[in-house]
Amino acid sequence: MAYHSQMTFLYFDDFDNGKQFIENTLGLSPVYHQTWATVYQSAEGAYLGAVDAKRGSVKSHVRGGFLVSLTVDDVVPHYDRLRNETCITDLTAIKIFEDIGVKSFFFKGPEGYDFEIQQFTDVAFDFTMQNGSESDSDLDATELIAAEKAFNRDAAMHGAKGWAANFLETGQMLSKSGQVISGKDVIEKAMTPLFALKKIDFTWTPSYAELSKDGSLGYTYGTYKRAYMSATDEEVVDRGMYLTVWKRDAHGQWKVAVDVGN
């Protein structure tokens, strides 16, 4: 038995104020309207609903005891945006939980509901990347996205060796300088200094994937973030986009044929 989606409903005594909070403060768009309920999509397969407490099925007047947690790529811009909002209270500082690979902050919304905005700092802990929905229409794309995410996990856990392990023996990297780095062993050697940087945090998120008609070749692209501490203990952050060309190896496994980042 499988579930196709998950919905969390918040019951507001002031229904209009609750809707305004979700739309204007959280920045979510409505996908369903009723006079006494509105549903917003927060992520693929995940929804947050606002319900008029005078009309809803649940008649509880008790707030608290649960947490609405929203996952983002970077918590800092969300924190900077929300810290000046007058409709939230009890905003905490950004906290880092190294034992679970999460960076997050907490606040209370209208009528005492608890919220968290979180970011996974280590993809090895990101269970949302390891479990995706799958349908007949996007099975091939899901296969490539899964390969991309596994690539990221291997690099996070094993550094340059994990990075290079996802390439074909004849794989290539196109560097910013225009240099073509060819061959699995050469790629590992070229990436070793990067993964040796202090507190290196190199993550990327695929946003699109497509396969050839015969299923032997494909590509993905998305955004990346690379952060580390400099020799003077200052944080250095690089962001950009990447394109990865994938090809099946002799065993039918997806491997990187060409990787390009800007």
Whether 132 maps to a domain, the answer reads no
Same domain, 118 and 142: no
Domain boundary among 124, 145, 171: 124
pLDDT digits (tens, 9 = 90+) for 85-120: 999 999 999 998 887 788 999 999 998 888 989 888
CATH number at residue 24: 3.10.180.10
Which band of pLDDT confidence, cut at 50, 70 and 90, is reported for residue 207?
confident
pTM of the model: 0.49
Same domain, 50 and 97: yes
pLDDT digits (tens, 9 = 90+) for 154-203: 999 999 999 999 999 999 999 877 889 999 999 999 999 999 999 999 99
Which band of pLDDT confidence, cut at 50, 70 and 90, is reported for residue 135?
very low
Same domain, 173 and 257: yes
> How many folded domains does the chain comprise?
2
Q: So what's the pLDDT on residue 229?
A: 93
Angle ∠(97,105,151) on CA atoms, nearest 5 = 55
Domain around 114: 6-124
Interatomic CA distance for residues 91 and 245, integer angstroms = 43
From the list 262, 206, 197, the residue with the least C-alpha distance to 234 is 197
CATH number at residue 183: 3.10.450.50
Average pLDDT score over residue span 219-239: 92
Q: So what's the pLDDT on residue 90?
A: 92
Whether 131 maps to a domain, the answer reads no
Which band of pLDDT confidence, cut at 50, 70 and 90, is reported for residue 5?
low
Same domain, 106 and 188: no
